[in-house]
Amino acid sequence: MTLMSRVVIGSVLILAWPLAHAADGQKIFTQGGANPAAMACLGCHGADGKGIAAAGFPRLAGLPAGYLSKQLHDWRNGTRKQPVMEPLAKALTEDEIQAVSTYLASLPSDPAPDERRQQIADNPTARLALYGDWSRQIPGCVQCHGPGGSGVGDHFPPLAGQPAPYLIAQLNGWRDGSRSNDPNQLMVGVAKAMTDAEVKAIAEYFATPTPAEVKP
């Protein structure tokens, strides 16, 4: 072993040292946090973090770390309600929240469909998703959540690939006031303006997106 490679290996070990002590996001995902009440994510959110559609457990893989971290904090301080997630989030340390959020954000996810506003919507659901209904002050979903519901930045999470029951539950949560942790109350007005039928149709639209039929 040359002197140089010893130096390199030594440096790598020294650099790696602090990481060993920081919370391990992957370990939290697969085994849970240090506190046993912080159960492993994969139990409900799937081994690949893409959620369990049949149960309505949401996709976490590839969601923005800032969004995930905010939700965990909101459950801790009670601004978002959910009987399973509240105690779980309270059992995570601050370091663990950061680590698991970063890890989940790094997990691969299916690309959002390339559905853009340039298309002429050929049915009322696509119309609502792409353009909204401004007679009721509803912006198109993709105007904030990105093309195909891909998600935009830390505040506008992906809709694509979320199970329909999860999306329905969230929209209904905003409608009945049981969910209210949206920044600037941007979702509550939109959700309240939607009908039951639209909530269901929009949820299914993003859960099982169909390829665009009209291409310019």
Q: Residue numbers of the site for other proteins (CB under 8 A)?
A: 116-121, 127, 131-132, 134, 137-139, 143-144, 146-147, 150-153, 155, 183-184, 186, 189-190, 214, 216
Least Å distance, CB 97 to other proteins, is 21
| Closest to other proteins by CB, 25 or 149 | 149
Tokens standing for residue 163: 């199970």
Q: Are 160 and 59 in contact (CB under 8 A)?
A: no
Q: How far is Cα 27 from Cα 126, in angstroms, rounded to an integer?
A: 40
| Closest to other proteins by CB, 94 or 110 | 110
Least Å distance, CB 25 to other proteins, is 24
Q: How far is Cα 211 from Cα 101, in angstroms, rounded to an integer?
A: 31
| Closest to other proteins by CB, 52 or 121 | 121
Least Å distance, CB 2 to other proteins, is 44
Please enumerate in sequence order all residues whose Cβ is within 8 A of that of 28, keeping only pairs 6 or more positions apart, or say none: 38, 40, 41, 92, 96, 99, 100, 103
Least Å distance, CB 139 to other proteins, is 5
Least Å distance, CB 48 to other proteins, is 22
| Closest to other proteins by CB, 18 or 216 | 216
Q: How many CB atoms neighbour CB 193 within 10 A?
A: 15
| Closest to other proteins by CB, 36 or 216 | 216
**Distances from the Cα of 160 to the Cαs of 38, 95, 116, 157, 171, in angstroms?**
27, 29, 13, 9, 15
DSSP annotation of 120 reads P
